[in-house]
Amino acid sequence: MNQSTRILRLDASANPGESGSRKLGDHLLRQIALTNQHIEVLERDLNREAQFIDGHWIAANFIAADSRSEAHNQRLAQSDKLIAELEWADHIVLTTPMYNFAIPATLKAWIDQVCRAGVTFRYGADGPVGLLTGKRVDIVITTGGAALGSPVDFVSSYLRQVFAFIGINEIEITGADGMNQDAEQSFARAVRQIEQRYPAAAA
Ligand X SMILES: Cc1cc2nc3c(=O)[nH]c(=O)nc-3n(C[C@H](O)[C@H](O)[C@H](O)COP(=O)(O)O)c2cc1C
Name the residues that contact ligand X, by CB under 6 A.
13, 15, 18-22, 97-101, 142-146, 179-180
Q: Are 4 and 38 spatial neighbours (Cβ–Cβ below 8 Å)?
A: yes
Cα dist from 183 to 51, 136, 143, 151, 189, whole Å:
32, 28, 10, 22, 10
Output the smallest distance, CB 140 to ligand X, in A.
Answer: 9
**Crossing angle between the packed helical segments 105-114 and 77-88, to the nearest 10 degrees:** 80
Output the smallest distance, CB 44 to ligand X, in A.
Answer: 16
Q: Please name every residue paired with 92 in a beta bridge, in sequence order, or none if there are none.
A: 8, 137
Output the smallest distance, CB 79 to ligand X, in A.
Answer: 25
Output the smallest distance, CB 24 to ligand X, in A.
Answer: 8
Taking the C-alpha atoms of residue 203 and residue 126, their distance in angstroms, rounded to an integer, is: 42
Q: 122 or 192: whose CB is closer to ligand X?
A: 192
> Given CA atoms 69, 44, 192, 149 in this order, what sign does their dihedral have?
negative
Output the smallest distance, CB 27 to ligand X, in A.
Answer: 13
Strands (E), 61-200: 91-97, 121-124, 127-130, 136-142, 170-176
Q: 57 or 187: whose CB is closer to ligand X?
A: 187
Output the smallest distance, CB 6 to ligand X, in A.
Answer: 24
User: Which is nearest to 43 in space by CA: 15, 24, 18, 22?
Assistant: 22
Q: 104 or 130: whose CB is closer to ligand X?
A: 104
Taking the C-alpha atoms of residue 96 and residue 98, their distance in angstroms, rounded to an integer, is: 7
Q: Are 175 and 185 spatial neighbours (Cβ–Cβ below 8 Å)?
A: no
